[in-house]
Structure 1
Amino acid sequence: MRNLDQLDQWESEARGGIKLLSGRISPRLIEVCRSWPLMTVPLAEERTGVSRAAGQRNIAWFDAQGLVQEVTGPWRFRVWRASLNSEA
């Protein structure tokens, strides 16, 4: 239950953080992060219906804002997860 509470709080903070952004990708990316414990660019691309480049840009923005955390190295086959409060 604790992780679900943290995920609920993360979602609320993430939605607050994207309010100034226009477009449909960021809200969809939040849903992907909620639904999948680990996320890749191809998964984000498939689940949000956007191009790979748009998926990469949005994940990079989420990463820069501290909304997601990369769990692999900065090379090929990168994987991210939601940055929950206990991990910060």
Structure 2
Amino acid sequence: MHPLVRGCLAGLLWRRAGLSPPDRVIDPAVFAGRLMAQGCERLRFAPLGSAGRRVWTAGGDVAARLAGHLAAVAAGARAGRDEIRRLDNWAAEARRAIEGIRGANADRVITVPAARPLVSAEDVATGAGISRMTAERMLNRMTEIGVIREITGASRFRLWRAGLAAA
């Protein structure tokens, strides 16, 4: 069986075996998503997009379930592609916006949320190979110029999202 079909079958068998309560869809979804991505070295799981929950709670015959499942995988792949394009565009715009910042740290910081759009200062420090203090200073400066957005509103354990202030 193709991995996408195995993933659909795994979700169905998970439910039939009663491995999770009926309202808990995350466990079978993660298992099936990882199963569907077997053999893809860069993809950890197959995305189902916003239709995923509907797929895991749907009933009907096998053909209808498989069709819904494959449609959700296609929607998830399109959404993933769109997010990659958004991040590529964001990174290009962000690099133009930081041209006035001296040194290589700003550019190195941009590579981190471009690969993982929700980051902490520790994530940026590790990913960019800079100190946590430098990461926090760069994140604060980039927030001020509108390159990224701080989304927690907290003073500690903050998270930043890749995205221009006008976006």
TM-score bracket, normalised by the shorter chain, equals 0.7 to 0.9
The residue that corresponds to 1:41 in the other structure is 121
Alignment identity in percent? 33
Instruction: Provide the TM-score with structure 2 as the length reference.
Output: 0.48
Partner of 1:56: 136
1:41/1:56 CA distance change after superposition, 3 Å? same
Deviations 1:9-48 (A, max 9, x none): 1111111112222211111111001111211011111111
TM-score (norm 1): 0.85
Paired with 2:125 and 2:149, the residues of 1 have a C-alpha distance of 18
Give the aligned CA root-mean-square deviation in angstroms. 1.7
Question: Could you tell me which of 9, 26, 38 is aligned with 2:106?
Answer: 26
The structure showing larger relative contact order (alpha-carbon pairs under 8 Å, at least 6 residues apart) is 1
Give the Cα separation in 2 of the matches to 1:32 and 1:42. Answer: 11
* Larger-Rg structure: 2
Say whether the 8 Å CA contact 2:146–2:164 is kept in structure 1.
no
Unaligned runs of 5+ in 2: 1-80
Look up the match of 2:86: 6
Unaligned runs of 5+ in 1: none
Q: How many residues align?
A: 87
3-state SS of paired residue (2:138) = helix
- Look up the equivalent residue of 2:92 and give its one-letter code: S
